[in-house]
Amino acid sequence: MQLLAWRETFRRFPRVLAGLICFGVGVAMMVQSNLGLGPWNVFHQGLADRTGLEIGPVISIVGVVIIVFALVPMREAIGIGTILNAVVIGPTVDLTRAVLAPPSSMLLRVLLMVAGPVVIAIGSGLYIGAGLGPGPRDGIMTGLARRGIPIARARTGIEVTVLLLGLWFGGTVGIGTLWFAAGIGPMVAFFLPRLSLPDPEPAVATTHAA
């Protein structure tokens, strides 16, 4: 049974990695458009401005801090996907920004802004659909939901909180923020069932006579 579990994990690992890389590329596209970011990345960018770090390391540090100081005390499930989320997306954002210069044309900036959340949604469908653990930030939401807070209220409260903190820190808010807020839910809902892997078939137990 354990061997089967590891074999199944190994089979799903490339899907998780591809999804997280795709997610990071989408975030970088929105950063380079300079037309607004999603709430968490407004927070990450503002924190990066305050600390003098690049946004990539901030994304990774925040992910690790959430795992250690939120998910572990809340006893939320932490999978390989959760850990990879914390360590893969940040470097991918910085690497993508290194090869994708901010465009001078407004048309190209708008195209990056529009396409960024689509790429993020595809990445989300890939890595969530692999079933190896949610991202750290989603873990806060599910942890609050398990404690009796309706999931919609928990998600809204978290997003508003990090957005306001990001604004205070100096993160970029604009039309891209509105596009992300309005579009990311429906787009993930569209891509997730189409990119999810089926659940593995349960192992057949064998009984040995005494």
Q: Domain-by-domain residue ranges, the chain?
A: 20-195
Q: In the 8-state DSSP scheme, what is residue 131?
A: T
Sign of CA dihedral 131, 127, 81, 152: negative
Structure tokens at 71: 């998910």
What are the helix and strand counts (H, E) for the chain?
9, 0
In tens digits, what is the pLDDT along the chain, a chain of 210 residues? 333 478 888 899 999 999 999 999 999 999 999 999 999 999 999 999 999 999 999 999 999 999 999 999 999 889 999 999 999 999 999 999 999 999 999 999 999 999 999 999 999 999 999 989 889 998 898 888 889 998 788 888 999 999 999 999 999 999 999 999 999 989 999 999 999 988 765 444 433 333
How far apart are alpha carbons 11 and 5 in whole angstroms?
10
Phi, psi of 173 (to 5 degrees): -120, 135
